[in-house]
Amino acid sequence: MTTTLFLEPLDVLFLRGNKLFGDPGSYGDAQMPPSPSVAAGAIRSRILADDRIDLAAFERGEIRHPVLGTPQQPGEFALTAFHLARRNKNGAIEPLFAPPADLVLTINEQTDAPQVQALHPGVITHGIQSSYPLAQLPVLAQEKRSKPASGYWLTLAGWQTVLRGELPANTQHWLHVSKLWRTDERVGIGMDAATGSVAEGRLFTTQAIALESDIESDIGFLVAVSGAEPPQNGFLRFGGDGRAVAIRLADVRLPEPDYARLAAARRCRIILTTPGIFPQGWLPTGASPVEGGTADFVLHGVRGKIKAAAVSRFETVSGWDLANRQPKPAERAVPTGSVYWLDELDATESDLRKLAEAGLWHTAGDNPGRRAEGFNRCTLAAWHDEGGN
């Protein structure tokens, strides 16, 4: 069973990236949205506290929790979704989504209306040289070159059009980041670890994230948890400095594509909804090495060929290993919103549903730590109609 929760910050959040800071004069950038591991760690810590588990013994692997397992061998707990969200004043919670990498948004300067175009896979013509290994390259056909707009997120209605293979061209389909959060710079003071006192001359600056709240809505995070019964009220310690976040049960069902339509069409797009950590770098789990311009894909009963991909620049994922009291190894991750075009699809409706529910993992034992933290989650969507803009 999957439980969805709404996390509402009560203060600014320190969502630190993977760059070291703390030296005199240094600057700590925030990472927004944060890695799903931030939410997974906060919820798991609360579960251990509620069950009165000896945290020191758990960290040493001396206690095995029924659903969390041990730090070395995680149990059934898994974060299966992590999204920005807004709660309207009537209490309804709406997930918000990072736009997929195959959409290009521009804003009409006269009307402020969004103009959306989609990338379409096309055969690379002779004479064009590239390190891109697939035979079909995502191409944007434009009569006039324009500069893409950035900093926009998709509403639930906009995301549903994406899953149908349509273009989210309505103004109500988009939200600018200025309506979701703002940054707030804070000055920190270095501490002497030996004496616990202020270290002279060690001032540094770090970014804090203030999620917006107004008369219309409150911005927070929507998470989905499987394999455990998470806390449904109270508070969590979230991000750097353990800032308070209220946790509430959310009656939300995340949108799904028409799996029957995808199976009949024999092609679909795989869109990452959380960052992907894959053995082959940019190629998703289940893909074979590229041969002849395509990569075979076999996972959870779904078979097909990856004909094209729109993958943004790698992110670096790390984090703090509480059990060993040291940073986790830095790993390259494919960003949320990256798109893979899967053609010659051979799968039933139930196979496609299983792929979306299980994520891009071979088994539960495949990198169990990162699986529990919510990485490699995806959705499936129809191909865009090439006749549209």
Torsion sign, CA atoms 122, 143, 384, 115? positive
- Check residue 301 and give its pLDDT: 96
Q: Residue 197 pLDDT > 70, yes or no?
A: yes
Q: Residue 388 pLDDT > 50, yes or no?
A: no
The pLDDT tens digits for 76-116 are: 999 999 999 999 988 899 999 999 999 999 887 777 778 89
d(CA 120, CA 135): 13
- Check residue 138 and give its pLDDT: 93
Average pLDDT score over residue span 191-209 = 76
Tell me the three-class secondary structure of the chain, residue by residue: CEEEEEEEECCCEECECCCCCCCCCCEECECCCCCHHHHHHHHHHHHHHHCCCCHHHHHCCCCCECCCECCCCECCCEEEEEEEEEEECCCCEEEEECCCCCEEEEECCCCCCEEEEECEEEECCCCCCCCCCCCEEEECCCCCCCCCCCCEEECHHHHHHHHCCCCCCCHHHEEEHHHCEEEEEEEEEEECCCCCCEEEEEEEEEEEEEECECCCEEEEEEEEEECCCCCCCCEEEECECCEEEEEEECCCCCCCCCHHHHHHHCCEEEEECCCECECEECECCCECCCECCEEEEEECCEEEEEEEEECCCCEEECCEECCCCEECCCEEEECCCCEEEEEEEECCHHHHHHHHHHCCCCCCCCCHHHHHCCCCCEEEECCCCCCCC
Residue appearing with tokens 């509430």: 248
Q: Residue 306 pLDDT > 60, yes or no?
A: yes
Considering just the CA atoms, what is the radius of gyration of the chain in Å?
22
Q: Residue 26 pLDDT > 60, yes or no?
A: no
Q: Residue 24 pLDDT > 60, yes or no?
A: no
**pLDDT above 70: percentage of residues in the chain:** 94
Average pLDDT score over residue span 104-129 = 83
Asked which of 165-179, 222-236, 328-342, 375-389 is least confident by mean pLDDT, the reply is 375-389
State which amino acid sits at residue 44.
Answer: R
d(CA 17, CA 31): 5
Domain boundaries, the chain: 2-20+28-96+212-249, 259-381
- Check residue 274 and give its pLDDT: 97
The pLDDT tens digits for 243-273 are: 999 999 999 999 999 999 999 999 999 999 9
Question: Could you give the angle at the alpha carbon of 156 between the alpha carbons of 150 and 159, nearest 5°?
Answer: 65
d(CA 37, CA 239): 10
Q: Residue 148 pLDDT > 70, yes or no?
A: yes
pLDDT band for 40, please (50, 70, 90 cuts).
Answer: very high
Residue appearing with tokens 């949108």: 255
- Check residue 193 and give its pLDDT: 66
Give yes or no for a contact between 327 and 20, defined as CB atoms under 8 angstroms apart. Answer: no
Contacts of residue 388, Cβ cutoff 8 Å, sequence gap at least 6: 118, 166, 167
Q: Rounded to two decimals, what is the model's pTM? A: 0.92
Average model confidence (pLDDT) across the chain = 89
State which amino acid sits at residue 250.
Answer: A
Of the candidate CATH numbers 1.10.1660, 3.90.75, 2.60.40, 2.40.128, the domain formed by 259-381 belongs to: 2.60.40
Higher-confidence residue of 196 and 225: namely: 225
Give yes or no for a contact between 95 and 33, defined as CB atoms under 8 angstroms apart. Answer: no
Q: Residue 389 pLDDT > 60, yes or no?
A: no
Identify the bridge partners of residue 183 per DSSP, sorted by sequence position: 209
Give yes or no for a contact between 47 and 278, defined as CB atoms under 8 angstroms apart. Answer: no
- Check residue 18 and give its pLDDT: 67
Residue appearing with tokens 């810590």: 45
- Check residue 28 and give its pLDDT: 66
d(CA 176, CA 87): 16
Taking alpha carbons only, the member of 249, 238, 259, 306 closest to residue 278 is 306
Give burial (CB, 10 Å; 0-12/13-18/19+) of 215.
exposed
